[in-house]
Amino acid sequence: MKKEKHKKRRRNAAAGEATAPRKRRSGGPRGAGAKEGLKTLGAAVAGGVASALAAGAAVEAGIKPQTAAVVTLLGGAASAYGFKGYGRAAGVGATCMAAGQLALAWQVKRQADAKKKADEKKAADEKPAAMQPAQSALPAPAGAAPKRNGYDDDGSEDPRNAGVVEDYAYDDAYSQVA
């Protein structure tokens, strides 16, 4: 059997001595990494604000909001891909802003389409009511008695009136007693 060579490893426990764990920093000034992160965050926010202003100006000039958002999204994605450092952060900010603007533009368009459909439906519902004769809205004259099917034939061609009562077969024994 071949003996393995001893590898030096880090031991968790010190032989014979008790070592105190390292103290962690509590508060105090932060390192250079935090400042760099804040600068990157600022660049992302500035990129988002700049692209929002540019897209707003484009919409004000007459471009559709969806089109302005898509163009801004593509421009931000291209700058995030092509640049390094703060330019990349600004591109990411522009892309994020454009994605939000695109979602809002689609929401507004969907609401406008729903409102348009509701208005068309309301107009279609009102149109047949307006085309009916005005007599249906007026009450019947006070002197006219309602017709009863089969009992009062006034000579009209109304098919609802069944005719004169004498046309029906019935026992006439009671009507001849007088």
Tally Cβ neighbours within 10 Å of residue 169: 6
The predicted structure's pLDDT at residue 3: 75
The predicted structure's pLDDT at residue 124: 84
Three-state SS sequence of the chain = CCCCCCCCCCCCCCCCCCCCCCCCCCCCCCCHHHHHHHHHHHHHHHHHHHHHHHHHHHHHCCCCHHHHHHHHHHHHHHHHHHCCCHHHHHHHHHHHHHHHHHHHHHHHHHHHHHHHHHHHHHHHHHHHHHHCCHHHCCCCCCCCCCCCCCCCCCCCCCCCCCCCHHHCCCCCCCCCCC
The mean pLDDT of 141-161, rounded to a whole number, is 57
The predicted structure's pLDDT at residue 5: 78
* Distance of alpha carbon 18 from alpha carbon 152, whole angstroms: 120
The mean pLDDT of 15-32, rounded to a whole number, is 58
Of 24-38, 51-65, 90-104, least confident by mean pLDDT is 24-38
Residue 33 exposed, middle or buried by CB count within 10 Å (0-12, 13-18, 19+): exposed
Residue 70 has pLDDT above 70, yes or no: yes
Residue 39 has pLDDT above 80, yes or no: yes
pLDDT category of residue 122 using cuts at 50, 70 and 90: confident
Residue 153 exposed, middle or buried by CB count within 10 Å (0-12, 13-18, 19+): middle
What are the extents of the domains in the chain? 40-122
